[in-house]
Structure 1
Amino acid sequence: MCGIVGYIGHGSAAPVLLEGLRRLEYRGYDSAGIALVQRRRLKVHKAAGRVEELRRRVGDDAPGSVGIAHTRWATHGEVTDANAHPHTDTSGRFAVVHNGIVENSDQLRAKLIADGVQLVSDTDTEALVHLIAARAEETDTLEAAVRAVLSSVEGTYGLVVLDSKRPDELVVARNGSPIVLGVGEGETFVASDVAALVRHTQQVVYLEDGEIATVRADAFRTSGRAQTVELSEEDYELGDAEDFMRKEMAEQPEAVRRALRGRLDPRFATAHLGGIRLDPRELRNVRRVKFLGCGSAYYAGQVGANLVEELARIPADAEPASEFRYRSPVIDSDTLYVAISQSGETLDTLAAVQELNRKGGRVIGAVNVVGSAVARECGSGVFLHAGPEVSVASTKAFTNMTVSFAMLALLLGRVRDLSAAGGARLVEGLRALPDQIQAVLDTDAEVAEVARRYAKAEHMFFIGRVRGWPVAREGAQKLKEISYLHAEAYQAAELKHGPLALIDRDMPSVVIVPNDELLTKNISTIEQIKARGGPVIAVTNATLPPGLVDAELRIPSNSPELDPILLTIPTQLFAYHLASALGRDIDKPRNLAKSVTVE
């Protein structure tokens, strides 16, 4: 992985490909490359580092009306020019760009070496292009050669193959890693993400898993139909913001309004989620809810599980999707599984959904991308309506996940024993969220001052209990991924069972303190930390004893069940400003990618 762009048509390929790579930079990468057909010969440029360095090497006026390009996030081999994609065969006729992992690449590479092929990279992808080149000598079409080679490949791939002797076609293939086609007038675009296409077309076709297709300037054949994406070039532009994370944090009030629009029913004090396609009888038959996600999506699932148990009084929990299929899970027909993925392409989550479908489980998706793999595999679910999220660190998508799960919990509660009065209280609380989130965002300057005060810390604890526990986990995640400061989340009661040994004046603790029935317990935890000299930053809507904490990050009060949604916002701002004080590249944290399509 991480980004693929292809073009075939009547125009100049180089500017389309380079601009496409620029729009995919947000996904995370360490090198980039491009292959253009010029007079039936390949011209390949590669650069370890940023797309801008590749642009300088290539130039926007490079000739050629067909080409492929790639941004690489290293999985096999170090970050070097040689390991960057595209990879070519020995003759320089064929080029391949590839997202995913070829799990049997060691065997394939060993066979090629035994056959006398000289490999020039350490990647799994290079084996594919040599195998395709050899098989192309024996087949009538490039697609047949690609199909034959992929039949012996184990692993995942989003693949585009270019033959300089056949410059009127590209062959694309998908298995576990996204490929989308963009349909233009006498030109066709290929990408791993629709973000690379919206400048040129809103008509797209998503390849299905296991699909291989030949693409020409004016024709292609796939199992899917073209659909219109309601996105534009402006959706992926910064505007006046310093970076995308700041832009997307500021967009959260409007994103939540979109998620709530048309879904709240004050008359019956409930929520409408038509996309899950479950009638009241089916909802009543749900005996358990399990949320499956990775990273921030997993922590959002924990918030959701707490909400379901509180409001619907049925067992619920969250589990990392990356672990789910490997532990041979028991699939219960009375359990509703919720697969969570911002991109809808997270491989671990997709694999969990496929395992559930294979075993007859009932699974719905919670995704932010229409037509994504998880959405198609689930067939029903909740669309997050967060809008495009470019920053690697999720903010508005996480918030919309938790808001969506609050509506799911309200719906489940109202078909059971949650009273109309209780439902009405939650409906009003949900309606209040956009303005309350804006109120928290308006404390930006105060949060920035606190963040700068602790920017020199080397380690930090995030502490919470019950409702505050997933908030603490997400807060630690944000701080780790964009500031590189070591942060650990702990349940408040667990501090005294080991972690308290690490508390001293150089170990700040961010303590999540909602104004709920556990307030006195949380105050006791803070006193334990202060007794050992540890600085405390409280994220709270409670009135704390004077002088108890070193800093407070305040939120408005809502229904206690919904407070975790608001408590998360200051932790986003805190992580952002601390990372900014340290001079980090906030939108492109090291070693991370936005859409994780490998295991």
Structure 2
Amino acid sequence: MCGIIARIGHGDATETLLSGLENLEYRGYDSAGIAVQNGSGVKVHKTSGEVADLKATLDTRPSGNIGIGHTRWSTHGPPTDENAHPHTDTAGDVAVVHNGVIDNYDELRAQLQSQGHEFHSDTDTEVIPHLIDEYRQDSASTEQAIRKAIDTLEGSYAIAALVDGEERVYAARKGSPLVLGLDDDEWFLASDVPAFLDYTDQVIYLEDGDLVVLEPDSYRITDLGGTPVERPVDTVDWDPDDAGKGEYDHYMEKEIHSQPTALANTIEGRIENGTVSFDDLEPGKFADIDTVQFVACGTSYHAAMYAGQQLRTAGLQTAVIRASEYETSAGPIDESTLVIAVTQSGETADTLDAVRTAASHDAQTLAVTNVVGSTAAREADTAIYIRAGPEVGVAATKTYSSQAVTLTLLTQRLAADVPEATPVDDSEELLETLEDFPQHVETVLETSQARLLAREFMNSTSYFFIGNGLSHSVALEGALKFKEITYEHAEGFASGELKHGPLALVTEKSPLFAVSTGDADEKTKTNAIEAQSRGAPIVAVGPATSPLVDVADAHLSVPDTHPVWAGLLANVQLQLVSYHAATLLERSIDKPRNLAKSVTVE
């Protein structure tokens, strides 16, 4: 949800800013801009469109050793040149980039206009440089003026600012991510690590209320009152090559094909002597839990559904709740409730709000995330990392698989800890077959017929996905992927619900992807036949032993394995179907319209 980059040090900043924006473009691509300070004023260059459009407008590259940049996902105002960041005050002396939402910007804008400030955009961000400019007139320093400005803001923000004549970058955060990168002769600020991963792996994850002042040879972190604070320096274990496309045409394609490696990392060291082991979860940690709630959004919600189904099978009282609805749907929460927040980025605003609500009721909280140092990891009582590595494609692929595997292992651990739970009878088989799972994914990738099927059905009017039990959440995820990157109508249903309304939409132009795991597939078969009798072609997605294969018009096969892993293998086939369909339709696969990777506003 928008990307910030800032750089200060010795040597020119412009190329670093532009490469940082390209690395962050998955966070927003409606417009882009940079501001550079070089001792002769703050030079701002910005445009609607993608970072490539910004680069095309730069006949000569602005030079300067200090700069800020931004790639936008629109919230206030359409994607126009005027609404692109950075924004400045009336005189152009203060330039600001911002992620988040300023709730009181209407009031502030009216107040500033009455004081003679001129506005040129529809954004909430533009009030910030004007506030800084206003407070500079009566403050002893720019830093003091920025503190006053920040204190005036209501809402969420990550901010980076430049001021004419000052060799500094000022930054602050509240409710929106910001990370500091440390190198020998330059400092970086960004909303996500991949922005500067080519330059350094030494990072400081800033926390809400932090204010940072960067100078060419030093940095200071204080709270909003000016008291110095210490933040630990972490080492990011991502390889810079992991954040590039390599030989692939799209990030999404690369990330689908990197799943065997990502999953091997997810699994490594987490099965010991036939039992599940997590480093940060001591034995018996969940012995006092009697209710589990999963909270998540989008793809993470589907991964949570996959785990929730398994926990219910183990006899645990379990709810899977959309994070945006948690406040009204959570029901009773107390110290015997475990709330598991599933969030790839660890910065999803609705999910963070749910964690805070749960904590306020004394519930135990656990974050399952991909990002070390993320807000969710810091605020939850415990964090488990899915270890998938950086994911740039907006449509989540490898992180879904890694989330689902991590959560499945967690369900085994919960079932072992909670006295009222009953571990599944085939737990030993489940863990043994997991060792082969990365290779089974590789087999799917090497043998899939998804490209041919995508071509066969590319002129369809609708695409339906059904599944029963564990397969239901896979069907929902398959439909989500398809609509995200093809822009075609796609819907997922529980198998038994197809005849309760959706069947009215079925025609010979609406292929039905029926997901199976090799377990409890008869209901899916029955409903698939009903659709087939009305002309819909049926694609069975699952193992060759599934009863669906005998009645289907086509089959996307997965290796024989435990039903839990078979469902996730079926998901890989559906990822490939979506990818190839979007390729044939010439869609913007890595940057689907109206979507961004990390949704940090409500």
Q: Same fold (TM over 0.5)?
A: yes
2:243 to 236, 246, 260: 236
Q: Which stretch shows the higher mean deviation, 223-232 or 366-375?
A: 223-232
Per the alignment, residue 272 of structure 1 pairs with 277
Q: Distance in 2 between matches of 1:143 and 1:430?
A: 54
Q: Distance in 2 between matches of 1:180 and 1:577?
A: 35
Report if the CA contact (8 A) 1:142-1:171 is conserved: no
Report if the CA contact (8 A) 1:555-1:567 is conserved: yes
Report if the CA contact (8 A) 1:325-1:355 is conserved: yes
- Residue 177 of structure 1, CA deviation: 0.8
The answer to whether structure 1 residue 443 and structure 2 residue 447 are counterparts is yes
The answer to whether structure 1 residue 56 and structure 2 residue 56 are counterparts is yes
Kindly provide the CA deviation profile for residues 531-580 of structure 1, in whole angstroms up to 9, marking residues without a partner as x. 21122112121344776222111112222233322221111111111111
- 1:209-288 residue pairs with structure 2 within 5 A? 209-222=208-221, 223=229, 224-265=231-272, 267=273, 269-275=274-280, 277-280=281-284, 282-288=285-291
C-alpha change, 1:307 and 1:153, in structure 2 (3 Å) is: same
Per the alignment, residue 200 of structure 2 pairs with 201
- Residue 387 of structure 1, CA deviation: 0.9
Q: Distance in 1 between matches of 2:561 and 2:180?
A: 45
Counterpart of 1:439 in structure 2: which amino acid? T
- Residue 274 of structure 1, CA deviation: 2.3
- Residue 480 of structure 1, CA deviation: 0.6
Counterpart of 2:233 in structure 1: which amino acid? A
- Residue 185 of structure 1, CA deviation: 2.0
Supply the RMSD in Å over aligned alpha carbons. 1.7
2:535 to 533, 536, 558: 533
Per the alignment, residue 169 of structure 1 pairs with 168
- Residue 111 of structure 1, CA deviation: 1.8
Report if the CA contact (8 A) 1:465-1:491 is conserved: yes
Kindly provide the CA deviation profile for residues 38-80 of structure 1, in whole angstroms up to 9, marking residues without a partner as x. 3241111111112122123336742211111111111111111
Per the alignment, residue 522 of structure 1 pairs with 524
Per the alignment, residue 135 of structure 1 pairs with 135
Per the alignment, residue 428 of structure 2 pairs with 424
Q: Distance in 1 between matches of 2:492 and 2:409?
A: 27
The number of equivalent residue pairs is 591
Q: Distance in 2 between matches of 1:510 and 1:594?
A: 26
> Taking structure 2 as the reference length, what is the TM-score of the superposition?
0.95
The answer to whether structure 1 residue 548 and structure 2 residue 533 are counterparts is no
Counterpart of 1:501 in 2: which secondary structure?
A: helix
Counterpart of 2:528 in structure 1: which amino acid? I
Kindly provide the CA deviation profile for residues 477-514 of structure 1, in whole angstroms up to 9, marking residues without a partner as x. 00010110111111111122111111111222111122
The answer to whether structure 1 residue 358 and structure 2 residue 363 are counterparts is no
4+ residue segments displaced more than 6 Å: none
Q: Distance in 1 between matches of 2:233 and 2:141?
A: 25
Report if the CA contact (8 A) 1:339-1:353 is conserved: yes
Identity of aligned residues (%): 40
- 1:269-418 residue pairs with structure 2 within 5 A? 269-275=274-280, 277-280=281-284, 282-310=285-313, 312-327=314-329, 329-415=331-417, 416=419
C-alpha change, 1:314 and 1:60, in structure 2 (3 Å) is: farther
Per the alignment, residue 559 of structure 1 pairs with 562
- Residue 336 of structure 1, CA deviation: 1.3
Kindly provide the CA deviation profile for residues 104-139 of structure 1, in whole angstroms up to 9, marking residues without a partner as x. 111112222233322100000001111111011111
Counterpart of 2:426 in 1: which secondary structure?
A: helix
The answer to whether structure 1 residue 578 and structure 2 residue 581 are counterparts is yes
Per the alignment, residue 19 of structure 2 pairs with 19
Counterpart of 1:261 in structure 2: which amino acid? E
Kindly provide the CA deviation profile for residues 575-598 of structure 1, in whole angstroms up to 9, marking residues without a partner as x. 111111101111111111011111
Counterpart of 1:578 in 2: which secondary structure?
A: helix
Counterpart of 1:101 in structure 2: which amino acid? V
Q: Distance in 2 between matches of 1:420 and 1:491?
A: 23
The answer to whether structure 1 residue 125 and structure 2 residue 125 are counterparts is yes
Q: Distance in 1 between matches of 2:403 and 2:365?
A: 16
Report if the CA contact (8 A) 1:20-1:196 is conserved: yes
- Residue 189 of structure 1, CA deviation: 1.1
1:482 to 463, 482, 485: 485
Kindly provide the CA deviation profile for residues 302-326 of structure 1, in whole angstroms up to 9, marking residues without a partner as x. 001012222x321222111122135
Q: Which stretch shows the higher mean deviation, 177-186 or 394-403?
A: 177-186
Report if the CA contact (8 A) 1:4-1:71 is conserved: yes
Report if the CA contact (8 A) 2:468-2:521 is conserved: no
The answer to whether structure 1 residue 87 and structure 2 residue 92 are counterparts is no
Report if the CA contact (8 A) 1:42-1:164 is conserved: yes
1:463 to 461, 466, 485: 466
